[in-house]
Amino acid sequence: MKGSEDVSLGVPPARELSDITVLLVDDSQTVRRSATGFLNDAGYSVVTAVDGFEALSKVVEHRPSLVFADIMMPRLDGYQTCALIKNNADYRDIPVIMLSGKDGLFDQARARVVGSDAHLSKPFTAESLTQAVQEHTQPDKV
């Protein structure tokens, strides 16, 4: 019979919270500031962007573990940003969670069509943000 130390071989180690980088894309400075505080307090690294164009460069530069993208943004909205991430073979595995003040079925359906992994309504709480990160950055999800 194998020793107990052999049983754990092949099982990936749990990710450290500090290894998880979250990209938060929102044109509202207030939303960026509060969400960054919530996520930093939970031990995550946070990178922010003010719109979809900036977000795309941050995805390439930082390769985040997860992206929160506001739906309604100037220049390049959250739907377009999500679609561009999900249509790129190098980045399509990064979970994208849409943030919206609207919780309508149409918004959620459209988010799914462009490849979104989930939808989170504003106003969000520290708990809802950190729970979303935990759910979408588990080793079996990555």
Domains of the chain with bracketed CATH = 17-136 (3.40.50.2300)
Q: Worst-scoring range by mean pLDDT, 42-51, 76-85, 97-106?
A: 97-106
DSSP 4: H
Helix, strand, coil percent values for the chain (each to nearest 5): 40, 15, 40
Answer whether residue 10 shows pLDDT above 90: no
Counting every residue written for the chain, the total comes to 142
pLDDT mean across residues, the chain: 87
**One-letter identity of residue 96:** V
Q: Is 3 helix (H, G, I), strand (E, B) or coil?
A: coil
Helix axes 78-86, 52-62, angle to 10 degrees: 30
Q: Whole-prediction pTM value?
A: 0.85
Tell me the C-alpha distance between 37 and 125, whole Å.
11
